Homo-oligomer: A and B are copies of this chain.
Amino acid sequence: MFRLIKQEGCARRGEFTTVHGTIQTPVFMNVGTSAAIKGGVSSLDLKNELKTQVELCNTYHLHVRPGDEVVYKMGGLHKFMNWDKPILTDSGGFQVFSLAKLRRIKEEGVYFNSHVDGRKIFMGPEESMQIQSHLASTIAMAFDECVENPAEYNYSRKSCERTTRWLKRCIAEMKRLNSLEDTINKDQLLFAINQGCTYDDLRIEHMKVIREEEYCAGFAIGGLAVGEPTDVMYHVIEQVEPFMPKDKPRYLMGVGTPSNIIEAVARGIDFFDCVMPSRNARHGTMFTWNGIVHIANRRFETDSRPVDPQCDCPCCRNFTRAYVRHLFKSEEQLGGRLAVMHNLYFYNTLTERIREALDEGRFAEFRAEYSAKLAQRLPDEL
């Protein structure tokens, strides 16, 4: 299912075949939280304009609204959004721990109140699998506890152990669901999630335990990019990576900046997702091959160049910096849409260029050229 095509150091060029098509890795998944990309971007834009390979949707949000029963009745997320390529759904765990109110964590799962209407909800491993089965995503994520950072060592250890027990329940439940007649996607895949906060021994021990679960089609590193320094994040990846199966994809959840992605690829990661390109875009922060641009800046008032002259996205092919700036200053939604499209195209092109570099054995060179550059603010003269 996962084919490792090439390696350069720890960096991996691969492809992952699913029932909804083959994913070329490294890949950046585009986040459509509530079955829609923020900023008015549709699945047609993703497909026709933005080179998106995988759309990521949020189990918690869709369970709350419109309800996974509704999505199930509509034939699953693919039909609902009109998207025929792979979809990854998260487990709901992260949102339960970051958004929901009044939560109580028990062995059976988590009791919490909806952030929308306060309604009481229970979600455990079985419920998460059932919801994701209703959503009929290509890849489902195991239900885990994402502990706060920093967290006490002892709490983190106990939480890891519970996450392991929950993983086993997720596997059992998904096996059952995938065998049912009226399940939409009987080929739904499960990725397990490594936890352990920033404690090397917990991270490694947890990874060693969960990698034994042969049923899992991939392994994610969760609980990072939650406020810890970047160096700490890289350190954790370096600690865990040697213990991750070579023959399955690795997914670094919720990461990150273009530079983070290049650095994590260099450390052996294959899958990424992050709200950064769409969230930043909506505030006028745009990524270019020469660094970061704040497009609402006065200096772009009569700038007739595209946001990024090197970019072929729908925004850069058709509109000037001056126009995009005007849209942001006038609070026209079109500004956000163009910027979101640009940033998603940038991220999708970034991973495409990483793949090309890996194919051609020059990833180290690519990394040296771009890892720092992409994090800088666009110099005035560019």
Indicate whether A334 sits within 8 Å of B44 (C-beta atoms), given known contacts A66-B329, A80-B322, A323-B80.
no
Indicate whether A44 sits within 8 Å of B314 (C-beta atoms), given known contacts A66-B301, A74-B302, A74-B320.
yes
- The yes or no answer to A239 lying at the interface (CB within 8 A) is no
- CB-defined contacts of A332 to chain B, threshold 8 Å: 34, 36, 38, 40
Indicate whether A302 sits within 8 Å of B70 (C-beta atoms), given known contacts A34-B330, A332-B34, A337-B333.
yes
A40 and B329 form a contact (CB under 8 A): no
- CB-defined contacts of A301 to chain B, threshold 8 Å: 66, 70
Among B73, B302, B327, the residue within 8 A (CB) of A36 is B327
Rounded to whole angstroms, the CA-CA distance of A66 and B324 in the bound complex is 11
Q: Quick one: which of A327-366 are within 8 Å of B by CB? A: 327, 329-330, 332-338
Indicate whether A40 sits within 8 Å of B333 (C-beta atoms), given known contacts A35-B326, A323-B80, A323-B81.
yes
- The yes or no answer to A149 lying at the interface (CB within 8 A) is no
Rounded to whole angstroms, the CA-CA distance of A323 and B34 in the bound complex is 11
Q: Mark A288-301, 1 if CB is under 8 A from B, else 0.
A: 00000000000001
Among B73, B322, B326, B334, the residue within 8 A (CB) of A302 is B73
- The yes or no answer to A17 lying at the interface (CB within 8 A) is no
Q: Quick one: which of A74-132 are within 8 Å of B by CB? A: 74-75, 80-82
List residues of A whose CB falls within 8 A of some B CB: 34-42, 44, 61, 65-66, 70, 73-75, 80-82, 301-302, 304, 314, 318-320, 322-323, 325-327, 329-330, 332-338
